Amino acid sequence: MSEVPRSAGRRKGRRKLRRERDPDRLLARQVRAAERAQRRKTLWDDARNLPNLLTFFRILLIPLVLVLLERGTPENCFWAAIAYAAAAITDMLDGWLARRQGLVSVLGKFLDPLADKLIVASTLVWLVAMGRVPTWMVVLLLGREITITALRGIASTEGLVIAAGEGGKLKTALQMVGIICLVIGFPYRLHLGVYDFGVVDFVHVGRMLVLLSLVFSITSAASYLGLFAEAIDAKNRRGTA
């Protein structure tokens, strides 16, 4: 009864030894280990490059903006607007640096749009609770962003790249300035150069700009949907040709 287990163990040991001595298997294991090590190194290096550090900084500004808004005094809202403006500047700066320095990375492609969506969504939701922007406006804006993000994900899986149009860029600019005005949230006397605008209610200005951004959001989304449908049709025609 004791011979069978020992024989089976010896056969198993010989098979294991042959596998370990197989040069192809050994080379494949070494290649996989090197690829895993390279991925870890690359991800860590990507996390430390300047564009991605700016993106991390933008994410860290989100709780600061919300805390200052929660305090709600004119001074706190002013500094919240400064923090939001700093986040908007880093949004433009990190992409420019990544392209200029050749530091475009997978991590950056993931973090950059995520940071943008987080700061816009969280700030708008907070402003709804403060009564500075209507709920329906925020629902439409966030619904548009979710829809376009989902479409971009589908386009990516299909190997399609659809560039943002001018309407989308104008929407982003109007939305950014509008949110900053809403964050300021109090009337101020505005004097620019030689012209005195008098007392300006920044909540009303912010609502108007966000409403305009909503119009461009809807039109740019319709344009993106059209381009997406055309790209899918073109791909299908190539596949059947």
Question: What is the rounded distance in angstroms from the CA atom of residue 87 to the CA atom of residue 188?
Answer: 23
Per-residue model confidence (pLDDT) at position 28 = 67
Per-residue model confidence (pLDDT) at position 229 = 83
DSSP assignment of 69-80, as one string? HHH--HHHHHHH
Find the helix or strand (DSSP H, E) in which 198 lies: strand 195-201
Per-residue model confidence (pLDDT) at position 37 = 47
What is the identity of the amino acid at 21?
R
Question: Considering only 3-17, 44-58, 67-81, which range has the smallest mean pLDDT?
Answer: 3-17
DSSP assignment of the chain, as one string? --HHHHHHHHHHHHHHHHHHH-HHHHHHHHHHHHHHHHHHHHHHHHHHSHHHHHHHHHHHHHHHHHHHHHH--HHHHHHHHHHHHHHHHHHHHHHHHHHHTT---HHHHHHHHHHHHHHHHHHHHHHHHTTSS-HHHHHHHHHHHHHHHHHHHHHHHTT------HHHHHHHHHHHHHHHHHHH-SEEEEEETTEEEEEEEHHHHHHHHHHHHHHHHHHHHHHHHHHHHHHHHHHHHHHH-
* Residue spans per domain, the chain: 1-48, 50-240
Say whether 38 sits in a helix, a strand or coil.
Answer: helix
User: Do residues 223 and 149 lie in contact, with contact meaning Cβ atoms separated by under 8 Å?
Assistant: no
pLDDT digits (tens, 9 = 90+) for 80-137: 999 999 998 988 887 777 777 777 777 777 788 888 889 999 999 999 999 999 999 9
pLDDT digits (tens, 9 = 90+) for 197-233: 888 899 999 999 999 999 998 988 888 888 888 878 8
Per-residue model confidence (pLDDT) at position 226 = 85
Per-residue model confidence (pLDDT) at position 233 = 80
In the chain, pLDDT over 90 holds for what percent of residues? Answer: 34
What is the identity of the amino acid at 38?
Q
In this model, does residue 3 exceed pLDDT 50? no
Phi, psi of 164 (to 5 degrees): -70, 140
Per-residue model confidence (pLDDT) at position 40 = 46
CATH 3.80.10.10 fits 50-240, yes or no: no
User: CA dist 86 to 50, 171, 230, Å?
Assistant: 16, 19, 38
Per-residue model confidence (pLDDT) at position 174 = 92
Question: Considering only 16-30, 170-184, 200-214, 217-231, which range has the smallest mean pLDDT?
Answer: 16-30
